[in-house]
Amino acid sequence: MSEFSRSWATDGPLGMQDVLRLVGTGVLGMTVMVIMFIVASPFMKTSTAFPPLKKYSQRSDECNRPSLEITQLWIYPIKSLRGCKVQSAVLEKSGFKYDRRFMLLKVTPEKLVNMQVSKIPEMCLFHTSIQHDKITVTYWSPESKMVTDSLDIPLQPSVKNLKTLSVEMYGSVMDDGYNMGPDYNDWFTKLFGFQVILAYWGGNTRPVLGNRPGRSASEAPPSSTLAKLLSQVPVLGTQLYGDNHTIAFNDMAPYLVVTEESLEDICSRLPSGVDMEICKFRGNIIVRNATAAFDEDYWGELTFGQAVRLILTANCIRCVSLVVDYETGKSGTGKAKDVYKLLSKDRRVDKSNAGKWSPVFGRYGFVDRAGEGNVLKVGHTAVVSKRNSERTVFAWPGI
């Protein structure tokens, strides 16, 4: 088996037997099945599922081009807190295994509010690490610059006795998230100074509403119960809807790719001796050997080895989280406080409404089906197996 061989089994789509169990096998059930297929048939289109993976052959103009190399891999167990730098990570449909499976919610009289480091900068004072079957969260006091408190959270907690809650992010809803309860909520509440809930995904996901592989962003994912059921039936589901892409508490896509060359360009804009930390860009896959800074704007696909294809669909529109000072937990006080302004001078290159006002850095991506369950490691190499002639346009309803 190759170094990219599968290490975890992945759940397959809903099978025909599962559908029959849902609708029944009697006359009524079979009638429902026939109606489903009759209703669906006029709308069937050529499948947008990824074709079988073939060995990648470099074009003649790429033969002398150096391969990209993974230099860093990052997992962010709890959204907006500090991430974990790892040596290897398992590719799953909804992102790296354990990536953004938890998030924090602020309790207000009106609703639960998603906590983001751009709006609550002190979130950067919470560091995370993964050890065996748990996440350890440590709080670093900006005054003493020491760990003053810590909390252990199970990586895969039992949800049997947990209350459910709904989590909405950018119009994309997870109906059945889980409230981890007072043992964890009270710890965060004490340190933030307001009531906080630690939410867990529990294997449930949110639909991707924007740029997806092989689909126009204007084509909404299935929303009705019948549509969701049909989307999971083998062959029929992909004929009707293509792949039903979903995410946990990631913003808008499962993966984010950034390059060291683009980071170096940004650092060159800062005062002498001031560096920009790569972790502020919250990428999952950091690569080097790009032909130029921001060349990734045009990447359509990366192929790692012969088994993993990452489909890149959109450039990442950046927010003011870049100016958060990770030492003090305050916004706009660090040595790199002007980075957002400097980046905005020539990096507002996306033609979307959001791109008019905000700079671009990095590419959002999705792993193809053949790549799910494979392991990426630091040191693995990749090639740009598809290149776009022009930049893609970011799309997400309401943004």
Predicted local distance difference test score (pLDDT) of residue 18: 46
Average pLDDT across the chain, whole number: 84
Closest C-alpha among 114, 78, 47, 41 to residue 282: 78
Q: CATH number of the domain at 343, please.
A: 2.40.33.20
* pLDDT tens string 60-99: 444 445 699 999 999 999 999 999 999 999 999 999 999 9
* 124 pLDDT higher than 70: yes
Cα–Cα distance, 69 to 91 (Å, whole number): 17
**pTM listed for this prediction:** 0.81
* pLDDT tens string 238-291: 444 456 799 999 999 999 999 999 999 999 999 888 888 999 999 999 999 999
Closest C-alpha among 399, 325, 390, 311 to residue 358: 399
Per-residue 3-state assignment (H helix, E strand, C coil) for 81-95: CCCEEECEEEEECCE
* pLDDT tens string 19-69: 444 445 555 555 545 445 444 444 444 333 333 333 444 444 444 456 999
Predicted local distance difference test score (pLDDT) of residue 62: 45
CB atoms within 10 A of CB 250: 26
H helical segments located in the chain? 16-23, 27-40, 182-192, 225-231, 236-241, 260-269, 339-344
DSSP state of 212: B
Residues 121-125, mean pLDDT to the nearest whole number: 97
* pLDDT tens string 310-340: 999 999 999 999 999 999 999 988 778 899 9
In this structure, is residue 201 part of a structural domain?
no
In this structure, is residue 17 part of a structural domain?
no
Its domain, for residue 260, covers 60-99+215-387
> Helices 16-23 and 27-40 sit at what angle, rounded to 10 degrees?
120
In this structure, is residue 222 part of a structural domain?
yes
In this structure, is residue 93 part of a structural domain?
yes
The torsion angles phi and psi of 385, rounded to 5 degrees, stand at: -85, -10
Closest C-alpha among 257, 264, 250 to residue 300: 257
In this structure, is residue 328 part of a structural domain?
yes
In this structure, is residue 45 part of a structural domain?
no
Cα–Cα distance, 25 to 37 (Å, whole number): 16
Helix, coil or strand: residue 151: strand
Instruction: DSSP for 230-287, please give it.
Output: HHTSTTHHHHHHS---EESS-SSSSEEEEEHHHHHHHHHHSPTT----GGGGT-SEEE
* 216 pLDDT higher than 90: no
In this structure, is residue 221 part of a structural domain?
yes
Q: Residue 110 to residues 106, 113, 200, 269: CA-CA distances in angstroms?
A: 11, 9, 21, 43
Q: Do 62 and 86 meet the contact criterion of CB atoms below 8 Å apart? A: no
Helix, coil or strand: residue 167: strand
Q: How many domains does the chain have?
A: 1
Cα–Cα distance, 20 to 374 (Å, whole number): 32
Q: Which helix (H) or strand (E) is 324 found in, with range?
A: strand 324-325
Cα–Cα distance, 47 to 241 (Å, whole number): 8
In this structure, is residue 312 part of a structural domain?
yes
